[in-house]
Amino acid sequence: MLKKALSAIAIATLALSAQAEVLKVAATAVPHAEILNFIKPALKAQGIDLEIKEFSDYVQPNAAVEDKQLDANFFQHQPYLDSYNKDRKTSLVAVPNGKVHVEPFGAYSSKIKNIKDLKNGATIAIPNDPSNGGRALILLAKQGLIELKDPKSLTPTALEITKNPKKLKFKELEAPLLPRALADVDLALINTNYAIEAKLNPTKDALFIEGADSPYTNIVAARKDRAGGADIAKLMGALHSAETKKFIIEKYKGAVVPAF
């Protein structure tokens, strides 16, 4: 009986040790959660049970990681993370080799088909957070619609517009609301993940769009005490695989561009 009991304990111990390690990652639905779902089987084979928590905004994914509810997140670029840390007094970091992809930022309209048709006094909707709002202004400046005080700044504001020949008016909205604002404005600068969710095709529907050389590469972020974890390293290995690159290229057809 004793031998049987010891054997049962040994088997139970082995079973517990064989259980997958849980890694909880926050993400916005498109394309981040889709990409994470693609790599789940590869991580499972490495002993990592990837749990994906979807969010519809850009604040809660960072708050959940900062509060230790989740281990990491995948939804943002470095300028946004820097701005978030500064505003919220947090210290989240990009994990080692944390760059994954670029989502070229685009301008959309339901009222005009060509940017040359944009009228004087037109209303332009842009994201209301500093990094993405600045990104929108930079893209408008590259089109020659405005000029900015410091062309090299990644976070310009509307107050730093030095020339506005068309006397454009700017309306700042939360990023998820921008697609719904298309009927009420002349032009909206929309993050690609929200454009895709709204059934907009960035490579076909955008009047103009960033190039793949954009500095706004999407990253995986975590707390400093978790960034160097072995499980995070396995996550990045799966995200940087040849299979993941092929998945991104074939699924998003230029709307999402691998950065590895």
Q: How far apart are CA 29 and CA 41, in angstroms?
A: 18
pLDDT class of 68 with cuts at 50, 70, 90: very high
At 164 the pLDDT is: 98
144: left (phi over 0), alpha (psi -120 to 50) or beta: left
- pLDDT tens for 9-44 read 444 444 444 577 999 999 999 999 999 999 999 999
Which of 233, 227, 224 minimizes the C-alpha distance to 90?
224
Name the helix (H) or strand (E) containing 61.
Answer: helix 60-66
The percentage of residues in the chain with a pLDDT greater than 70, rounded to a whole number, is: 93
Residues 6+ apart with CB under 8 A from 199: none
Global confidence as pTM: 0.84
Mean pLDDT score, 136-160: 95
Mean pLDDT score, 240-252: 97
Helix axes 230-239, 34-44, angle to 10 degrees: 120
